[in-house]
Amino acid sequence: MKRGNLTVGEVVRQGLLLLFGLLALFPLYFSVVNSFKDRVQYAENLLDLPFPAHPENYALAWAQIQGPLLNSVVVTVASVLATLIFASLSAYAFALMDFPGRHLLFGVTFALLLVPEFLTLIPLYVQIQALTLPSNYLAIILPTIAAGQPFAILVLRAAFEAIPRDMLEAARLDGAGHLALLRRIVLPVSLPVLVSVAIIRLIPVWNEYLLPSLVLDERHRTLPVALVAFQGGGAATAVTPNYGALMASYVLAAVPLVLLFAFLMRYYIQGVTSGGVKG
């Protein structure tokens, strides 16, 4: 690559991009610096670095959200894994098996993309309350798996169809059944796509607020629900909350995503920019 191609236009463009990029990240900066301030420091200045720092805010925040953080991890990991397993089985059937009603059933799962969330939210809430589940976690995991199916099946089916047939034929001649084919060839070959789907699905599941706030009891509630509860009833309330501890809880809520994207950013970008999600 050639250096010295810094024309005026190029400098202006990069300046603009840097400015907007940093502005988009500003809420994170704001949360981090203010998470180390006590009430007086917060009231005095919102933007500067805190001296002396107050890391004890983090102990306060951690006490509040360690349970919900763990719940969020359990719910998210279980939902995304189960979404992938269910969707892989279905995508395999749609892509590589021949059976009556194939197109009809695919249409039935695909049509779910058209069912809006607000339509099913309240009936789901009523339905789940009436259901006796072995664990309260399942109250959010099961509907989340269902919600993830159309997107995951759509993308995985395309990936499975693209696998060279010779490869599958050779394995079949060796006597491999469908499950063996799926486990030993189809899934390993499609690993990058599986990771992409997982990580694209993971974001909305981690951020989900409405249904968890309705169906999870206090012991099982997830991070978004806990953050709202911790904040205490909306910005319209008169009492000034302890902002330092609040901001610390926001930072803690972002840590798992930061760790994840430190390693898997590439797969997110590939997943969104490659064919799968195009209209």
Q: Which of residues 203-262 bind other proteins (CB under 8 A)?
A: 203, 206-207, 209-210, 214, 223-224, 227-228, 231, 234-236, 240, 243, 246-247, 250, 253-254, 257-258, 261
Per DSSP, the residues of 38-98 read -HHHHHH-SSSPPSS--THHHHHHHHHHHHHHHHHHHHHHHHHHHHHHHHHHHHHHHHH--
Angle made by CA atoms 70, 76, 79, in degrees to the nearest 5: 135
Residue 219 Cβ vs other proteins, minimum distance, rounded to whole Å: 20
Judged by beta carbon, residue 87 or residue 220, the one nearer other proteins is 87
- Window 76-135: residues binding other proteins (CB under 8 A): 85-87, 89-90, 92-93, 97-102, 105, 109, 112, 115-127
Cβ atoms of residues 243 and 54 within 8 Å: no
Single-letter code of the amino acid located at 138:
L
Cβ atoms of residues 121 and 210 within 8 Å: yes
Residue 170 Cβ vs other proteins, minimum distance, rounded to whole Å: 20
Contacts of 267 (CB under 8 A, 6+ apart): 192, 195, 196, 199
**187/95 Cα distance (integer angstroms):** 13
Judged by beta carbon, residue 36 or residue 206, the one nearer other proteins is 206
- Window 3-42: residues binding other proteins (CB under 8 A): 5, 10, 13-14, 16-18, 20-21, 23-25, 27-28, 30-31
Environment class of 14 (CB within 10 Å of its CB; exposed 0-12, middle 13-18, buried 19+):
exposed
Judged by beta carbon, residue 51 or residue 118, the one nearer other proteins is 118
Q: How many residues sit in the footprint of other proteins (CB under 8 A)?
A: 90
Judged by beta carbon, residue 80 or residue 145, the one nearer other proteins is 145
Scan for tokens 């911790």, then name that residue.
Answer: 230
Judged by beta carbon, residue 21 or residue 55, the one nearer other proteins is 21
User: Is 268 an interacting residue with respect to other proteins (CB under 8 A)?
Assistant: yes
Q: How far is CA 194 from the centre of its chain?
A: 14
User: Is 49 an interacting residue with respect to other proteins (CB under 8 A)?
Assistant: no
Contact characters 163-192, other proteins, x per CB under 8 A: ---------------x--------------
Q: Which of 66, 64, 211 is nearest to 137 (CA)?
A: 211
Residue 231 Cβ vs other proteins, minimum distance, rounded to whole Å: 6
Judged by beta carbon, residue 170 or residue 265, the one nearer other proteins is 265
- Exactly one of 153, 186, 193, 198 binds other proteins (CB under 8 A); that residue is 153
User: Is 143 an interacting residue with respect to other proteins (CB under 8 A)?
Assistant: yes
